[in-house]
Amino acid sequence: MLTPIALLSILFLPTLVPAFPTGAGLCQVDPAAIAAAANGAMGQQNERLGFTLSTPAGVTTYAANQPVTVSVGGGGEYKGLLIYAANEVGAETHLGTWTVQPGFRVWRPADSWLRKHLEGADAPADCTPFGPGSTLSHDSPDAKVLPANFTWTPPAAAAGNVQFFAVVVVDTDTGFQSLTTAQALTPAA
């Protein structure tokens, strides 16, 4: 027989799962908005998590349609990820496209409407307006392990200096860390 405490734990355990299990709840790295999203279900910003965001050593430029590896480093498990390339952190346009691997997704115009209607309030943010395929996110509530590498393909035309921005969400109690690459990539000559 279940005790009242055990029964309450079972009933409320699902509330500890991140609020957006099939994609990021926001499309930009904005720590205040992330902490407030879904009534704080992603926790608070925690810069002591030790995650890193980088491009390979020596890579300082990008060229049209030449893929660049972007690495999220650190150790341990995490539940959610948002990553994009832009000229600045709050840019309204995300640049290039991402190669999708299992457990992740990008936003494309065709699936935005469908996901919103199928998932309702739990639907992830629609990042299509920032650029189709230009924002990468988790696509499942399953735990994922770092380090992880992602492939970004620059746009066909040079788009100025480009930096990478990310948010890694561990869980409600541990929180999240926002990340920026240390150096912007410049267009190749």
DSSP-assigned letter for residue 142: S
DSSP-assigned letter for residue 125: P
Q: Determine, yes or no, domain membership for 11.
A: no
| CATH number of the domain residue 75 falls in | 2.60.40.4060
Q: Determine, yes or no, domain membership for 95.
A: yes
Q: Determine, yes or no, domain membership for 10.
A: no
Q: What is the pLDDT of residues 137-163, one digit of tens each?
A: 888 888 899 999 999 999 999 999 999
Q: Determine, yes or no, domain membership for 166.
A: yes
* Gap between the Cα atoms of 98 and 37, Å rounded: 25
Q: Determine, yes or no, domain membership for 50.
A: yes
- C-alpha radius of gyration, the chain, whole number: 17
Q: Determine, yes or no, domain membership for 19.
A: no
**Confidence at residue 11, expressed as pLDDT on a 0 to 100 scale:** 30
For each of the chain's 189 residues, which pLDDT tens digit applies?
445 433 333 233 333 334 456 566 677 787 777 766 655 677 888 989 999 999 999 999 999 989 999 999 998 999 889 999 999 988 999 999 999 998 888 876 655 555 555 555 555 567 878 888 899 988 888 889 999 999 999 999 999 999 999 999 998 899 989 999 999 999 998
Q: Determine, yes or no, domain membership for 126.
A: yes
**Confidence at residue 66, expressed as pLDDT on a 0 to 100 scale:** 96
> What domain range includes position 36?
24-187
Domain count within the chain: 1
Q: Determine, yes or no, domain membership for 6.
A: no
Q: Sheet holding 104-106: strands in order across?
A: 104-106, 135-138, 80-86, 163-171, 175-180
Q: Which two tokens stand for residue 164?
A: 């990478």
